[in-house]
Structure formats: structure tokens, C-alpha cells
Amino acid sequence: MAPQEQRFLVLFDFDETIISESSDDAVVRALPGQQLPDWLKQSYREGHYNEHMQKVLAYMAEQGVSKDSIHSAVEKIPPTPGLLNLLQYLQSHQQDFELVVVSDANMYFIETWLERAGVRHLFQKVFTNPASFDATGRLVLLPFHSHSCSRCPDNMCKQVILRDYLVSRQKERGGTPFQRVFYIGDGANDICPSLALGPRDTAFPRRDFPMHRLLLGMQQFKANVVPWASGEDIVDCLKKIIKER
């Protein structure tokens, strides 16, 4: 017999949503001088962050930063407040919630952190930029996909990912869609996927972060908006929704 399908889909951003800072910034501190040289900082072009990060990782390899140093820099990043309690709550209601990560970080950072925190098994899928170490010990980063959305950076539109996932999961679930979708994020690139949410869904922007500030200025937003400062705020909201059945 097929297992009971989960009724709700929960999507998480990673940097500054699951973890308390940008994983890229944390890893840069593994450099001998703990920061990037100005020429490299200044080479960043708006909308081309993935390309910039490829250069940063190449520079780190040239400076002799080892795989182990990168690994431990990622493992040391603290979670956001109350985040582990939120994941614990979702684990205790696994029959109701399917969890997915959608992040513009990279697979090596995300898998490393989730494994270390003991929560990787909770996530059905991680959508992010591919990254792995090559034979020379350099972490090689690639773009996730290409798309035609003018709002998003060239390597990732989270709305395209969300819409495709909802379609493919509905097929796999024998035509049953999720009853509700929850999107937890903090950044400007979390707005685009939130625009795909409907009136039964909820966007959880991290309070006073760019996603929250941008949502405050939006007139035509369909989904419910519940700002959070701690994972506990999200648990409180989900408890109410579960009671509604």
C-alpha cells in the first residue's frame, strides 16, 4: 500500500534562513587574511553572483585553503534562532509535511551543514547550484540552470524551480496536489517564488530582512504573510494550521 501522502509542502531557503549568515561569507573567513582582496570584491557584477563565487573559490584554492578548512568553516555556522526546534517539530509531524531546500548557495555547503546538524534526512530534495571538489582540491561551482525570468539572477529562478516541482510531485502523487505550500526565506530572491503561492499558502519572510521589506510594499500578493524572527514563530503558525485539518 502506498504511504499516506503529506498534505503540506514546506520550502526553505538556506543562507540566513536555515543558517544565521551567508555560507559564502563564513567560508571566506577560512582565507589566511580572513577576507577577499579588494580587486576580487570589486569584480562582482549585479545579477552574476554565481560567476563571482566561482572566482572566489578558485582564489581560495590558489591561496592554499584546504577542503578540510572549508568543510569545518561550513560546519561551524550557527543555525538561525529556533530553526532546529522548527525542524524538530516538522520531524515529529513527518506524515504531514514534505520539506525541500531551494537555495542559491551550493550543494557542497548545504549537504555539509545539514549532515553535521543531523537533519539531512528530513529533506526530500535540495535544489541548489552544483559544487564539488576537483582533483586539484578546488571547489568547483556551476550554475543550477538557465531561465528567462527577468527578476532573478541568471543562474537561478526559484519560481521556476517551485512550479516545476509542484507539477512533477503532483504527477508522482497520482494527481493529488499539496493542500498548502509554505515558503520560508529572507532574501530578495525569495520574492519571485512567493509570487507563485496562492491564497491558502503562506510566505514566511524573516522579519526586517529584504524579503519582508519587499513584501510590505506589494499590493497584489495572494498568499498569507507571516514574518518570523525565530523558528518558534513558524511552529506557532503551523500548529494552528494543522488543527484546522
Q: Which amino acid is at 117?
A: A
- Residues 126 and 101 sit within 8 Å (Cβ to Cβ): yes
- As a whole number of Å, the CA-based R_g of the chain is 18
CB atoms within 10 A of CB 93: 13
Cα separation of 94 and 187, whole Å? 27
Lowest mean pLDDT among 77-86, 96-105, 143-152: 143-152
Q: Which residue has the higher pLDDT, 52 or 127?
A: 127
Per-residue pLDDT at 223 exceeds 90: yes
Report the binding-site residues for Mg(2+): 13, 15, 186
DSSP labels for 105-135?
EEHHHHHHHHHHHT-GGGEEEEEEE-EEE-T
Q: Is 134 a catalytic residue?
A: no
Minimal CA–CA distance to 4: which of 109, 128, 93?
93
Annotated binding residues for substrate, written as ranges, equal 24, 104
Compute the mean pLDDT over every residue in the chain, rounded to the nearest whole number. Answer: 92
For the chain, the residue count is 245
> Would you give the distance in Å from CA 197 to the centre of its chain?
17
The contacts found for 130-135 with CB under 8 angstroms, 24 or more apart, are 130/106, 131/57, 131/106, 131/107, 132/107, 132/108, 133/67, 133/108
> What are the pLDDT digits (tens) for 90-122?
999 999 999 999 999 999 999 999 999 999 999
Residue of higher predicted confidence among 180 and 138: 180
Q: Pick the catalytic residue: 13, 190, 201, 233?
A: 13
Would the pLDDT of 2 be above 60?
no
What is the end-to-end Cα distance of the chain in Å, rounded? 23
What SS3 class is residue 186? Answer: coil
Kindly tell me if the per-residue pLDDT of 1 is higher than 50. no
Out of 31-35, 89-93, 219-223, give the one with best mean pLDDT: 89-93
Could you confirm whether 15 is annotated as catalytic?
yes
What are the strands, taking DSSP E only, across the chain?
8-12, 97-106, 123-129, 131-133, 139-141, 180-185, 202-205, 224-225
Does residue 154 contact residue 146 with C-beta atoms inside 8 Å?
Answer: yes
Q: Model's pTM, two decimal places? A: 0.93
Q: Would you list which residues are annotated within the binding site?
A: 13, 15, 24, 104, 186
Least confident of 82-91, 138-147, 210-219: 138-147
Q: Which three cell numbers stand for residue 37?
A: 582582496
Residues facing residue 228 across a β-bridge: 206
Cell numbers 519560481 correspond to 159
Please state, in angstroms and rounded to a whole number, the distance separating the CA atoms of residues 197 and 203: 8
Distance CA 41, CA 95 (A): 45
Out of 15, 190, 201, 233, pick the active-site residue.
15
Does the pLDDT at position 133 exceed 50?
A: yes
In one-letter notation, the amino acid at residue 125 is: K
